[in-house]
Amino acid sequence: MLSAAANPAARFSPQSRVAVLLPLPLGGAYDYRVGAEPVGVGEFVTVPLGKREVIGVVWGEGAGDTDSARLKTIHQRLDCPPLPEVTRKFVDWVAAYTLSMPGLVLKMAMSVPQALEPARALMACRLAPTRPDIKLTDARRRVLETAATLPPLPPADLAREAGVGPAVVKGLLEAGALESVAIKRPPIFEDPDLARPAPTLSDGQRQAADALVTALDKGFSVAVIDGVTGSGKTEVYFEAVAAAVAQGRQILVLLPEIALSAQWLSRFRTRFGVEPAEWHSELSDAKRRETWRAVASGEAKVIVGARSALFLPYPALGLIVVDEEHDGAFKQEDGVSYHARDMAVVRASLGKIPVALASATPSLETLANIQAGRYQRLHLPDRHAGASMPDIVPVDLRRHPPPRGTWLSPVLVTALEDTFAAGEQAMLFLNRRGYAPLTLCRKCGFRLQCPHCTAWLVEHRMAGKLMCHHCGFSTRPPEKCPECEAEDSFAACGPGVERIAEEAAHRFPGARIALMASDTITGPHAAAEFVRQVADHEIDLLIGTQIVAKGYHFPMLTLVGVVDSDLGLEGGDLRAAERTHQLLSQVAGRAGRAERPGRVLLQTYQPDHPVMQALVSGDRDAFIANEADQRREAGMPPYGRLAALVVSGPEPGPLDDFARRLARAAPRSAEFQVLGPAPAPLALLRGRHRRRFLVKAARSVNLHAALREWLSKVVPQGGIRVQVDVDPYSFF
């Protein structure tokens, strides 16, 4: 089954001409001549490029546009599984859709070139056929006896089995009493244990799980597990994971923040008795290499990963799950900009397999697809084990303002005190890292700004730094105002989570308080330890940014306070209301997940805003219907299409010239509107000046063809770059 994905037909004989795609920013595949050894489509090869040698993939027949005399010859075919046909199709598809160079997409699919080198054999030792004449100590005798009864073992393992130090084994090897042999590496990822007891599903869960299982092996389909927070969506799709494993298929589960999903991993272990293969940016090089190989060989059955896991070379993928499908972290903005949820659907369709999208607040795009009958909805309206949904109430900050210089209203303070008194846990949520988002001089009003970006510097008091959240610039707080030279004149404006933690520590001296933000929790181990502390009730009050909102299940957590519910509503972003609703629903969903009922207090200046009303009433569908109406009227996604163009350059003058030329070349019609150029809200980012265009197109227009044609007319020069973002999610 594993080799079925490779195309056995397409082999190219010596001297023939083939196209080789290189993982580089080039226009397309280059032609090469096949050397003495035939090559197959999808195989990895090394080829000369200028003076270098690079690894590429045989992409198909040569295009024939290089004259034969100048054709270079493939150096070598690498001894590793070929890139599956479906992965190659996926690379082409993503490149076309995102208007990216295919080589850059291929680069994502071969992100670990070292994995293409043959794995080094594992050295083990066994008894030599004849024993040389050596002095036998007790330790040596034990090693020889152990070696006689066990299969060949690596020296360290043999020493451990025999209960001796490694030097003893080494000595016996040198003396010739033991000899080295190469053995096959043991598998790194064990198969999930399907015999372990699964939880008994509720009727609703069972129906949803059955629908997912039935869809396996029936080609492409999209199911949406639309279930309230705590409804047990994970248990539902675990059933489908188990069934797909039983069929010998691989399963990909995409999570928005895999490095922090310690609870998910421990649930997987409980259910299947093994570790899944993880794929995210924090893997070590060695782990990355062996994981890539284990995926390519089919050894790794379940892969849980961040968006980049979509580009791994699965030979036998049978199911994709996208958990928290609405999450903005699935959108990649740098380099090739793509939405992993949408590309997961594409990947499933190319691979003719089902995909399941799970969320308590599916995106408007996904809901529209359900309405149009393209996606199947699996509804879980109730929490597991009869837990009730939390009670959500707004706290009107105009009527219950916090005392000057503080951020927690008396209503929220009282609720927190009650919670601690009852021996329960609480969480305060504020989606802003650091201590204060703005620092200004009290004397002259000067604001500390990033030298490379149009952005204020954020004070991180714990780290003793001012930081730019866009480019990472950081500096010590200056002693004097750079403008008026006043000393000790700086005032912190507004709160970040550090400041809330300071206020809480002051207010609730008896409470055990912990802060969780992406800069205070570094890496999976810290996150796991943190989660354990909360779960074991070593913490009374958890304060955090959106990373605390993600999927956690803390039975004793009964109160959630949202410090600034209005935060995400600022700005003209088309999804601001939808996104705020999703985020706050998810935060609220942390409260009261077990026996004790939960309560959520939303501090807001706009208690009548549709988002607050929807959260309070729990009527998500009416809210979404209203949002959808507005988007339909405005011709916005998913009813119309958007593409964003950011042009950037080192100097503003030439950049503006270029932007004007681009604007003049733009095709314009009622169905294809080009807005801009306008200075981007972040007019300066990482030292580059930026101008934006927004393209608004009707569904009837071939957006890609029009964009391609337009962009081919004006060629950027002098360090100017054009970045295209089809289906943009951010507008800075």
- Per CB under 6 A, residues contacting ligand ADP are 199-202, 205, 227, 229-235, 384, 553
470 binds, among ligand ADP, Zn ion, none (CB under 5 to 8 A by kind): Zn ion
Cβ distance to ligand ADP smaller for residue 82 or 230: 230
Residue 163 or 199: which CB sits closer to ligand ADP? 199
**With CB cut-offs between 5 and 8 Å by kind, which of ligand ADP, Zn ion, none does residue 466 bind?**
none
452 contacts which partner out of ligand ADP, Zn ion, none, CB within 5 to 8 A by kind? Zn ion
Binds 396: which of Zn ion, ligand ADP, none (CB < 5-8 Å by kind): none
- For residue 511, count CB atoms less than 10 angstroms from its CB and return exposed for 0-12, middle for 13-18, buried for 19 or more: middle
Report the partner that residue 473 touches, choosing among Zn ion, ligand ADP, none (CB closer than 5 to 8 A by kind).
Answer: Zn ion
- For the CB of residue 613, give the shortest distance to Zn ion in the complex, in Å: 37
Which one of ligand ADP, Zn ion, none is in contact with 453 (Cβ closer than 5 to 8 A by kind)?
Zn ion
Shortest Å distance, C-beta 203 to Zn ion: 53
- What are the residues facing 317 on neighbouring strands? 250
Distances (CA, A) of 570 to 242, 438, 562: 43, 16, 16
Q: Show Cβ contacts of residue 600 under 8 Å, excluding neighbours closer than 6 positions.
A: 390, 391, 392, 393, 559, 560, 561, 562, 587, 588, 591, 615
Nearer of residues 684 and 697 to Zn ion, judged by Cβ: 684
Among ligand ADP, Zn ion, none, what binds residue 424 when CB lies within 5 to 8 Å by partner kind?
none
Q: Which does 554 bind (CB under 5 to 8 A by kind): ligand ADP, Zn ion, none?
A: none
**Smallest distance, ligand ADP to C-beta of residue 517, A:** 22
As measured in angstroms, the least distance from the Cβ of 450 to Zn ion is 3
Q: Could you tell me the CA-to-CA distances from 510 to 410, 533, 540 in Å, in that order?
A: 18, 17, 9
Whole-angstrom Cα distance, residue 597 to residue 390? Answer: 6
Would you state the structure tokens that stand for residue 427, as one six-digit string?
């969480």
- Residue placing its CB nearer to Zn ion in the complex, 438 or 698: 438
Cα separation, 629 vs 624, in Å, equals 8
Choose between 108 and 471: whose C-beta lies nearer to Zn ion. Answer: 471
Q: At what angle do helices 85-98 and 340-351 cross, to 10 degrees?
A: 140
| Neighbouring-strand partners of residue 356 | 223, 321
DSSP 8-state secondary structure symbol assigned to residue 1: -
477, 381 in Cβ contact below 8 A?
Answer: no
Inter-axis angle of helices 364-371 and 620-634, nearest 10: 90
Give CA–CA dist 531/516, Å, rounded.
10
Q: What are phi and psi of 517, to 5 degrees?
A: -145, 165
Whose Cβ is closer to Zn ion: residue 439's or residue 582's?
439
* Smallest gap from residue 552 Cβ to ligand ADP (A): 8
Residue nearest ligand ADP by beta-carbon distance: 232
Please say which residue, 267 or 686, places its beta carbon nearer to Zn ion.
686
Q: Choosing among Zn ion, ligand ADP, none, which partner's interface includes residue 367 (Cβ < 5 to 8 Å by kind)?
A: none
Q: Residue 232 touches which of ligand ADP, Zn ion, none (CB < 5 to 8 A by kind)? A: ligand ADP
Q: How far, in Å, are 151, 540, 542, 548, 558 from residue 416 at the CA level?
A: 61, 10, 11, 18, 10
Min. distance of Cβ 447 from Zn ion in angstroms? 14
Question: Which amino acid, one-letter code, is at 324?
Answer: E
Task: Choose from Zn ion, ligand ADP, none: what does 558 bind? Cβ within 5-8 Å by kind.
Answer: none
Q: Omega of the bond prior to 677 within 30 degrees of 0, cis?
A: yes
CA dist 685 and 450 (Å) reads 9
Q: How far is Cα 169 from Cα 166, in angstroms, rounded to an integer?
A: 5
Closer residue to ligand ADP in complex, CB, 38/555? 555
Residue 302 or 466: the one with the smaller Cβ distance to ligand ADP is 302
- H or E element in which residue 559 lies: strand 557-562
Find which of Zn ion, ligand ADP, none residue 379 binds, CB within 5 to 8 Å per kind: none
CA atoms within a 13 Å half-sphere pointing along the CA-CB vector of 664: 6
Cβ proximity to ligand ADP, 205 vs 366, nearer residue? 205
Please say which residue, 230 or 298, places its beta carbon nearer to ligand ADP.
Answer: 230
Least distance from C-beta 370 to ligand ADP, angstroms? 18
How far is it, in rounded angstroms, from Cα 637 to Cα 727? 8
d(CA 407, CA 395): 12
Q: What is the DSSP letter of 333?
A: -
- Kindly list the distances between the CA atom of residue 284 and the CA atoms of 304, 352, 394, in Å, as whole numbers in the listed order: 16, 33, 45
Binding at 298: pick from ligand ADP, Zn ion, none (beta carbon under 5-8 Å per type): none
How many CB atoms neighbour CB 273 within 10 A? 14
Burial of 420 (0-12, 13-18, 19+ CB in 10 A): middle
- Give min distance, CB of 333 to Zn ion, in A: 16
CB of 466 to Zn ion, least distance (A): 11
CB of 547 to Zn ion, least distance (A): 22
**Which spans of this chain sit near Zn ion (rule: CB under 5 A)?**
450, 452-453, 468, 470-471, 473
Handedness of CA 429, 431, 435, 440 (dihedral sign): negative
Please state the separation of Cα 288 from the chain's center in Å: 16
Q: Name the residue nearer to ligand ADP (CB basis): 233 or 696.
A: 233
Question: Residue 501 touches which of ligand ADP, Zn ion, none (CB < 5 to 8 A by kind)?
Answer: none
Our CB check for ligand ADP shows the closer of 233 and 293 to be 233
C-alpha dihedral sign at 667, 669, 674, 676: positive
What residue 229 binds from ligand ADP, Zn ion, none (CB within 5 to 8 A, per partner kind)? Answer: ligand ADP
Q: What distance in Å separates the CA atoms of residue 312 and residue 297, rounded to the nearest whole number?
A: 11
Q: How far is the CB of 218 from ligand ADP (least distance, A)?
A: 25
Q: Give min distance, CB of 378 to ligand ADP, in A.
A: 12
Instruction: Give me 472's structure tokens.
Output: 């990472």
Contact present, 643 and 725 (Cβ < 8 Å): yes
Q: Say if CB 430 and CB 466 are below 8 A apart.
A: no
Binding partner selected for residue 520 from ligand ADP, Zn ion, none, CB under the kind-specific 5 to 8 Å limit: none
Q: What does the alpha-carbon distance between residue 577 and residue 40 come to, in Å, rounded to a whole number?
A: 51
Q: Which is nearer to ligand ADP, 152 or 592 (CB)?
A: 592
Q: Report in angstroms how near the CB of residue 232 gets to ligand ADP at its nearest.
A: 3
Q: How far is the CB of 107 from ligand ADP (least distance, A)?
A: 34
**Minimum distance from residue 318 beta carbon to ligand ADP (Å):** 22
If the CB atoms of residues 316 and 588 are measured against ligand ADP, the closer one turns out to be 588
Nearer to ligand ADP, 378 or 628 (CB): 378
SS (HEC) of 298-323: CCCCEEEECHHHHHCCCCCEEEEEEE
The nearest distance, CB 467 to Zn ion, in angstroms, is: 9
Q: What tokens does 717 get? A: 């020069």
